[in-house]
């Protein structure tokens, strides 16, 4: 399962990471080097196959609760209007309405 330059370009795209072309070969080599040490896991058969992957990780209900902010939202937001944050507009948002 050797990692190719196209694989690195693909996962970099998924992760929204800009990777310069001249750094690509280095990451390909390093990822292949690291993943070669992971192959040892493939030798674990039988008992591992039957093990549920999420056993033992008990989580409680994820309920929304207020976050105890020490600084009011209004103080660290660039601007607010009607309870909403107004953030710096992105270059592609020409049709997003008025400037904050």
C-alpha to C-alpha distance for 72 and 80, rounded to whole angstroms = 12
The residue whose two tokens read 């609760």 is 65
3-state secondary structure of 80: strand
C-alpha to C-alpha distance for 33 and 3, rounded to whole angstroms = 10
Q: Is residue 21 at the binding interface for other proteins, with CB under 8 A as the rule? A: no
DSSP state of 91: T
Residues 44-83 that bind other proteins (CB under 8 A): 44, 47-49, 51-57, 59-62, 65, 67-71, 73, 75-76
Question: How many chain residues interact with other proteins (CB under 8 A)?
Answer: 54
- Binding region for other proteins (CB under 8 A): 1, 3, 7-8, 10-12, 14-20, 27, 30-31, 33-35, 37-38, 40-42, 44, 47-49, 51-57, 59-62, 65, 67-71, 73, 75-76, 87-88, 90-92
């Amino acid at each position: 399962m050797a990692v190719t330059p196209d694989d690195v370009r693909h996962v970099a795209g998924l992760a929204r990471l800009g990777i310069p072309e001249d750094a690509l070969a280095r990451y390909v080599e390093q990822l292949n080097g690291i993943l070669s040490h992971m192959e040892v896991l493939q030798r674990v058969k039988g008992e591992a196959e039957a093990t549920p992957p999420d056993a033992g990780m008990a989580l409680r209900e994820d309920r929304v609760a207020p976050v105890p902010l020490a600084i009011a939202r209004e103080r660290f937001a660039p601007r607010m209007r009607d309870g909403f944050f107004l953030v710096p507009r992105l270059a592609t948002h020409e049709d997003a309405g008025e400037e904050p």
